[in-house]
Structure 1
Amino acid sequence: MSNGGGAGETPDHSTLRKASLKVALRISAACAVMVLGLLAATALYLVNQLAHPEVPRSASAGAAYAYLDSRDVLEAMLIAGVAGIVLAGIVGWLSARSAIRPLGDALARQRRFVQDASHELRTPLTILDTRIQLAQRNTEPGSKQAQDLARIREDAATLTGIVNELLLAATTDAPDRSAAPADLADTASGVAESLRLVAEQRDVRLDFFAVARPLARIDANALRRAVLALADNALSHTPPGGRVTITTAIEQNRAVITVADTGTGITGVDQARIFDRFVRTASTGGTQGQRSFGIGLALVREIAVAAGGAVEVASTGDAGTVMKMTLPLAAGKND
């Protein structure tokens, strides 16, 4: 199967080869069941015939009779059956490889697209960061403009991190587990600061509290994306005059981030399903009766699970919703 160039086996090759083998095994199993059924039926017939043998009383002139041993017949049938099963497996393997080959080509094109797009985005992002630094030099340190530029540069750095992760995911088989532990409080505080202006424009109060400052073994950029998605979802479903609160803590030897809002709660859909992509709640009438969760929460779950954690709806109701993401604590000091 084509992998779009390059020597050696790619992760896609391995996955598709396993899929082809699985299809071949299923075909062989189906053939084995049919062959065993035929052998059983034939054996029963032979046993019945042996129990009631018919011997000719007289032989006509020139007539010939052949007598076969039942054991020889069964052995011949067994050998033919095994050969048929093996042949079916080979045919299934070749057919599966031929059928899956277009999928392999599509996966290779997808990887190339992600690689090319990620690589091309890195240059303009680098230029953007450079221009932000130049603008910072022309502003007074500590001024509001300097603070705004610092936040913009932080957001640009987050976007650069996402692009680098896309490039890494398209070129490697397994994620890098050597990342330094991330400080949940620092990340959550940065997210709250980044969304402060958005919250003010929506007349929503956004607060952050650090009950503890746990460290978790997770990439800092991935953690920021997850917390940002949780907070953005909370802001999207909190009416004007409401409140969103981000809290970090340690519970049962796990690092925890909770995002609470004062919205109307989640109704019309199973709470576990809101972490599926583009899930919508059932309409309850009116333009505001339906809630959509896009792909943000789905990405949060993928990030949490990849780091060995989980995300859930801790509570929901008329008073609001609380989302909780738990992560394994990193070895070292945790406050």
Structure 2
Amino acid sequence: MNRSKRFVVDSDALAIRRASRVVGTRIAIACAVVVVVVIVAVFVYILSEISPGELFEPVTDTDNLQVSAVKLLRAAAVLGVALIVLAGVLSWQVTHRAVQPLGEVLRIQRAFVADASHELRTPLAVLDARLQILQRTLPANDPSSSVVAELRSDAKDLIHIVNDLLESAEIGGAAVQHAVVVDLVAAVAAAAQSMALIAVDKRVTIELNAPQPAPVRVPASSITRCVVALLDNAVRFAPRDSAITVSVAVTKKTVAVTVRDQGPGIHGIDPARIFDRFAHSAPPEAGGDESRTGFGIGLSLVREIVVRYGGSVHVVDSTAAGTAICLTVPRAKSA
């Protein structure tokens, strides 16, 4: 009997927690450095005021309150450690509270995208239906048939984009671990075959390097869509007469898919931010094609899907010689 394990994964929440940890750690380190500098200054001052022989001498004057140098240094060290720990706790609390409004903004943004997508789906579906009726009623030799066909194609593209936006807005909720083990290589091969038909127009070849099967618990359709998105991005920026390589690497715990092109690299944006929602890089250079070639799915949705199934996606490198993006998902255990 197959069972689906439900868990909550939200890439926005993960990003916020990661940012909170980074900021909190930096504040704690800065405070710790200040405390250490002060304690070291106290140590240096005490040691400069007494001779080495007096450092361990017992205190014999009981009329006045006196403390030996060793005890004073020990107290300073304990106080320093306590202050460092306190700085770490306070910095974590402050940063955690500071990023909460950001989480609310992202939640509102996701809700707006979902609501807008829902509102657009119906009129676009009606538009496509009317264009389909018009296309069927036109004679075969009608000169406007090609224009109507192009309008239908544009309407379908808009529908795909709206569906992708809706999926991106809704996918951050409860996730389901796929119960069926699938071969990731087969899904990647299907994506490469689909995009090869489009890449041929630019005389770009897609080479698949997958020496062994790769069992994963991710729907094959999701894998195909993600790889299509990565290949779409690579084809868009790849120069003519170049090659795009798709490599599949299998380890004991993970399966990684790396898509590498020979384009000009990522410009105008931090490579780590290309998976953010609504993020765009600068126009391609060195022969890249600025037009979109894929099926409407964006890199942000790739991250949403991969994170949903316990994986990750990141830019391996991006230079003038090309860009490599790696998608990693957990490997399924053998039955």
TM bucket, shorter chain: 0.5 to 0.7
Relative to the length of structure 2, the TM-score reads 0.54
Is structure 2 residue 219 aligned with structure 1 residue 219? no
1:160-199 Cα offsets, whole Å, 9 max, x none, are 111111111222249999895546565565799xxxxxxx
The amino acid that maps onto 1:51 is P
Distance in 2 between the 1:172 and 1:17 partners?
Answer: 18
Q: Which amino acid aligns with 1:16?
A: I
Output the CA distance in 2 between the equivalents of 1:51 and 1:312. Answer: 58
Q: After TM superposition, list the pairs within 5 Å mapping 1:63-82 onto structure 2.
A: 64-82=63-81
Q: Which position in structure 2 is the counterpart of 1:28? A: 28
Deviation for aligned residue 1:252: 9.1
Judged with a 3 Å threshold, the aligned counterparts in structure 2 of structure 1 residues 208 and 155 are, in CA distance, closer, same or farther, namely farther
8 Å contact 2:259–2:326 — kept in the other structure? yes
- Runs of at least 5 residues in structure 2 that lack an aligned partner in the other structure: 1-7, 211-219, 249-256, 270-280, 307-312, 328-335
Distance in 2 between residues matched to 1:326 and 1:26, nearest whole Å: 28
Alpha-carbon RMSD: 5.7
Contact kept in structure 1, 2:135 and 2:148, CA below 8 Å: yes
In structure 2, what is the Cα distance between the partners aligned to 1:326 and 1:101?
A: 31
Change (3 A) 1:212 1:272: closer
Structure 1 unaligned residues grouped into runs of 5+: 1-7, 193-205, 235-243, 260-269, 282-290, 316-322, 329-335
Q: Confirm or deny: 8 A CA contact 1:162 1:221 kept in the other structure.
A: no
2-structure distance, mates of 1:211, 1:88: 53
- List aligned pairs for 1:190-229, cutoff 5 A: 218-219=224-225, 226=232
Please name the residue that 1:14 is paired with: 14
Does residue 1:51 correspond to 2:57, yes or no? Answer: no
Report if aligned partners of 1:278, 1:295 keep a CA contact under 8 Å in 2. Answer: no
1:107 aligns with 2:106: yes
What's the TM-score once normalised by structure 1's chain length?
A: 0.54
Distance 1:212 1:142, change over 3 A: farther
Report the Cα offset of residue 16 of structure 1: 1.9
What pairs with 1:162-241 in structure 2 (closer than 5 Å)? 162-173=161-172, 182=190, 218-219=224-225, 226=232, 230=236
| CA distance in structure 1 between the partners assigned to 2:192 and 2:234 by the alignment | 12
Secondary structure of 1:272's aligned partner: coil
Where relative contact order (Cα < 8 A, 6+ residues apart) is larger, the structure is: 2
Q: 1:115 to 1:77 in 2, by over 3 A?
A: same
Larger radius of gyration: 1
Structural mapping, 1:1-335, within 5 Å: 10-48=10-48, 49-51=50-52, 53=54, 64-140=63-139, 148-173=147-172, 182=190, 218-219=224-225, 226=232, 230=236, 271-272=264-265, 277-279=281-283, 302=299
Taking a change above 3 Å as real, the CA distance of residues 79 and 173 of structure 1, as seen in their structure-2 partners, is: same
Please report how far the alpha carbon of residue 155 of structure 1 lies from its aligned counterpart in structure 2 after TM superposition: 3.2
Pair 1:126–1:191, CA change in 2 (3 A): farther
Helix, strand or coil: the match of 1:219? helix
Q: What displacement does 1:15 show?
A: 2.2
Rate the CA distance shift 1:301–1:248 in 2: closer, same or farther, 3 A: farther
CA deviation vs aligned residue, 1:220-276 (integer Å, no higher than 9, x gap): 995599389849x99xxxxxxxxx99x9998999999999xxxxxxxxxx9435575
Shift of 1:30: 1.7
CA distance in 1, matches of 2:130, 2:117: 20
Give the SS at the match of 2:64.
coil
CA-CA distance at 1:293 after TM superposition: 8.5
When the two structures are aligned, how many residues end up with a matched partner?
A: 264
How far residue 80 of structure 1 moved from its aligned partner, in angstroms, is 1.5
Return the letter of the residue paired with 1:74.
L
